[in-house]
A and B are shown apart, each in its own frame.
Chain A
Amino acid sequence: MTDTPRTIEISPVTRVEGHGKVTIHLDQNGIVDEARLHIVEFRGFERFIHGRLLWEVPVIVQRLCGICPVSHHLAAAKAMDVICGVDELPPTAEKMRRLMHYGQVMQSHVLHFFHLAAPDLLFGFDAPAAKRNIFEVLREKPELGRRAILMRKFGQDIIEATAGKKIHGTAAIPGGINHNLPIATRDAFLKTVAEMQDWALDALALARDYTLGHAELVGGFGVFPSKYMSLVRADDGALDLYHGNLRMIEPDGSAVFDQLPYDKYHEVLREDVRAWSYMKFPFIKDMGPDDGWYRVGPLARMNTVSFIDTPRANAARDELMAANNGQRTHAILANHWARMIEVLHCVEKITELLHDPDLQGTDLRATGDRREEGIGVIEAPRGNLIHHYKVDENDQVTYCNLIVSTTHNNEGMNRAVKAVAVKELSGQSEITEGMLNHVEVAIRAYDPCLSCATHALGQMPLEVQLLDANGHIIDRRARAL
């Protein structure tokens, strides 16, 4: 125990895209005084889009992120649909886009669960760093690892077939889609989709069993109530990852707003700026930043929606809700269970779509009267994603505002860091790597994507610094990523 305040830095946060840093400030008695997740990389992407032609925006925005480029592709395309005066896509176009999106969400969730979260869940948060990696998972559960890769590949293949390419897809164009799904491609997917559903059910069981089997840990790890927001299907409030209206609920499930058309998002949301982070803090305008913050993502969606329109995923959601006596779940570790419910939902939706002859339709694109402004919103793997553009008479973008899922969750992640830090670090005479990993686990539960990591060889070391009140480093750990 030191007799002066200390600051612990974890920089950058591991297993998170982009550059983040956690600082935990201890007071003279070693009690956690403040904990913050800083985003130290400025994207500047919104300015990068200025002057771009509206037609190229759905392709260019995929540069934002190497993890979920499809989400940006589709959100931008939806915004450009509006600018091109198209309020309803031809069925083939919408269903191709939906198929692309379900493939994306499925493969993203699978990567997170098996690759990033599994080491923590299987070996515990206190396990040595050398143990907390995918190779150790494979040693213990090789079949699990093999399935994870094949499920990822299935999702990636869906993306390639619908987007045109695995990365930098070009298929979603303003007003529609540029191709349909050939029957031979559809038939190839139909041969394996049943196996994907079986594996999705197994993965779901794994996540559920972990959550229920570690009820004490899950119920005491970074748990705090919050508002939640997601798209829900118009009229009936079902889970809809591609389109719908906004619903936000209080911790008890009552509505903050419901069935709000998403092009009115800027009438209810504001973004706060804080000097210590490049990432903004969205909040409900009328409530202010202290009371109006909220969370998005898989668990948020399970909490907001009225039901899921695929039978097996809906039964799984019912089980999740029942585990908390029908109340909304605030345990961040339950995100893993929620993610696997969504994987199952995506596979069910993919199966449904593959049997739909509209995917082979030839009416691919609609047109309409040109507008100057468009907003596209989608439920990305990590949560709600907003793209907002204005375009001039030369078809050039003059305004761009993006609120990505991780930004929506900024306040929630910061509170999770503090909650875990207070529990794990306060009053401890020694800060161990296991304690620090607890903090990182809290962040990873949100699967944050700090976006666009420049991962050139030789970059991105992990450095943990322990500093005294005067900013002097009293301990340091570093490892290369």
Chain B
Amino acid sequence: MIQVIGYGNPGRGDDGLGPAFAARISGLSNVRVCSDYQLTVDHALLIASATQVVFVDAMMGSDSPFEFGPMTPSTAQDLTSHSLSPAAVLALASTLFEATPKGFVLGISGVAFGRVHEGLSPQARANLTLAEAYFRDWLAMAHSQDLAEDRANA
């Protein structure tokens, strides 16, 4: 099972890219989708039953419309907020539940974060569409690999 967690605050403009992505892909087969304001310790339990997990968040300061890549658990950083980093959630899942799903992060570029308002900027919407298309292609490949691994294990 692939778990997608889209997180951010939709009341803060492009910070809502994560939840907007989650809404777009909700209903896809073999994907469990969760949307939240931020990552917390609870998400360690959520991902413990997944084979792969994709963390989707808004991104600042990149020239790319989106960035996607693998990530590994990390306990190195400070855990100094109510919210956690994706790497810390992965590490918690491993530490607490001996779960080691493969981790990926999908950062989607936003440009308007400052003031309280709902809705994505036109640039963020365009980036979201590109990220979604990429993710759907990746998902098809990931499912194929999962099936191949299942067959090999059988």
Q: Which residues of A contact B (CB under 8 A)?
A: 14-17, 43-45, 48, 60, 63-64, 66-67, 69, 111, 114-116, 129-130, 132-135, 138, 142, 145-146, 148-150, 152-153, 156, 166-167, 449, 452-460, 462, 479-481
Contacts and interface: CB of A to CB of B under 8 A. Distances in A.
Contacts of A134: 41, 79, 92
Interface in B1-51: 8-12, 14-15, 35-38, 40-42, 44-45
Given A44-B115, A63-B116, A452-B11, A167 B36 contact: yes
Contact of B60 (A67, A116, A150, A456): A456
Contacts of A153: 42, 45
Q: Which among A17, A130, A148, A456 has the greatest number of chain B C-beta atoms within 10 A?
A: A456
Interface stretch (B80-88, B135-143, B145-153): B80-88
A249 B37 CA distance: 36
Contact of B58 (A44, A135, A456): A456
Interface in B67-114: 75, 77-83, 85, 91-92, 95-97, 105, 107, 110, 113-114
Given A146-B96, A456-B60, A457-B107, A111 B12 contact: no
Contacts of A48: 11, 116-117
B53 interface: no
21 contacts: A14-B78, A63-B9, A63-B118, A66-B9, A67-B82, A115-B41, A115-B82, A132-B78, A145-B96, A146-B97, A152-B40, A167-B36, A452-B12, A453-B38, A454-B9, A455-B9, A456-B8, A457-B58, A458-B59, A458-B62, A480-B77
Contacts of B9: 63, 66, 452-455
Chain B: number of interface residues, binned into ranges: 35 or more
B59 A15 contact: no
Contacts of A142: 95-96
Contacts of B95: 135, 138, 142, 145
Contacts of A453: 9, 38, 81, 83
A455 B10 CA distance: 12
A43 B83 CA distance: 19
A16 to B, nearest CB: 7
B41 A457 contact: no
B108 to A, nearest CB: 9
Given A135-B92, A153-B45, A454-B12, 8 more contacts: A63-B10, A66-B82, A135-B75, A138-B92, A142-B95, A145-B95, A146-B97, A167-B35
